[in-house]
Amino acid sequence: MLIDALPEAVSVDGVVYPVRWQFRTFLLIEELMEDPELSDEMKLGLALNLFFDNNVPPNTAQAAQRLTEFYMGGSSPDEPDSSQKDAKSRARALHYGHDRERIFTAFWRSYGINLTRADNLHWYEFKAMFSDLDADCLLVKIIGYRTMNIAKIKDKEQRKFYADMKRKYALPLSKKAKEELKRIELALLGDGDLTKR
């Protein structure tokens, strides 16, 4: 990032396509990917149209690969970079839509950047800064609460505190997750079959 210019285009089948490289593009893509009302095909189509600014290359498979690589900061999906190491727990710890105000204040506090006016903030810059937010930011603390394994805490009072924080700042469950929890609850009460999916 410090030596090469940040990318503003990608190559698909040897043709260079300009892309929407601003951080907001990827926040929008994140949000639409979590929309339960959209099919996977619709999500991909909308994401490609956002990224390629309504000029999607004919080779949509390769276009989707370029979008994924760009999203991951330029690395191949087969070769995860350091920011992907804990992607699974990060996915459970952060929701760009739900946490938008905390993200705004974290960038303001850490860098003095007003994200509502940062029209030219590149996605790679956003990712790099996000990974190094001040430890005192509420968002960083909340991510810590959400990912903490309270079973490993020996002190009872500390364990209770972190369990309370985990509940307080838990991300809202999707409709599918709520239905699954209800199914498990009913099965445990003897009113359903836990083996059915």
Are residues 178 and 104 part of one domain? Answer: no
Give the separation between CA 31 and CA 43, rounded to whole angstroms.
Answer: 10
pLDDT for position 48: 97
Are residues 159 and 100 part of one domain? Answer: no
Task: Indicate whether 187 belongs to any domain.
Answer: yes
pLDDT for position 25: 96
Task: Indicate whether 115 belongs to any domain.
Answer: yes
Task: Indicate whether 47 belongs to any domain.
Answer: yes
Task: Indicate whether 143 belongs to any domain.
Answer: no
Are residues 129 and 154 part of one domain? Answer: no
Are residues 159 and 129 part of one domain? Answer: no
Are residues 111 and 22 part of one domain? Answer: yes
Are residues 169 and 95 part of one domain? Answer: no
pLDDT for position 87: 46
Are residues 22 and 100 part of one domain? Answer: yes
Task: Indicate whether 55 belongs to any domain.
Answer: yes
Give the separation between CA 191 and CA 173, rounded to whole angstroms.
Answer: 23
Are residues 94 and 8 part of one domain? Answer: yes
Each residue's pLDDT tens digit in the chain (197 positions)?
Answer: 677 899 999 999 999 999 999 999 999 999 888 888 899 999 999 999 999 999 999 999 999 999 999 999 876 555 554 444 444 444 468 888 889 999 999 999 999 999 999 999 999 999 999 999 999 999 999 999 999 888 888 998 998 999 999 989 988 876 666 676 677 667 666 655 545 54
Are residues 129 and 88 part of one domain? Answer: yes
Task: Indicate whether 114 belongs to any domain.
Answer: yes
Give the separation between CA 53 and CA 10, rounded to whole angstroms.
Answer: 12
Q: How many structural domains compose the chain?
A: 2
Residue 87 belongs to what domain range?
1-134
Q: 127 vs 15, 29, 145, 158, CA distance in Å?
A: 27, 15, 21, 32
Tally of residues, the chain: 197
pLDDT for position 97: 85
pLDDT for position 197: 47
Are residues 191 and 103 part of one domain? Answer: no
Task: Indicate whether 40 belongs to any domain.
Answer: yes
pLDDT for position 39: 92
| The token pair that represents 190 in the structure block | 């003897």
Are residues 156 and 129 part of one domain? Answer: no
Give the separation between CA 119 and CA 144, rounded to whole angstroms.
Answer: 29
DSSP assignment of the chain = --SSPPP-EEEETTEEEE---BHHHHHHHHHHHT-TTS-HHHHHHHHHHHHTTT---S-HHHHHHHHHHHHTTS--TTS--GGGTTHHHHHHH--TTTTHHHHHHHHHHHH---TTS-TT-BHHHHHHHHTT--TTSHHHHHHHHHH--GGG---HHHHHHHHHHHHHTPPPPPHHHHHHHHHHHHHHTTSS-TT--
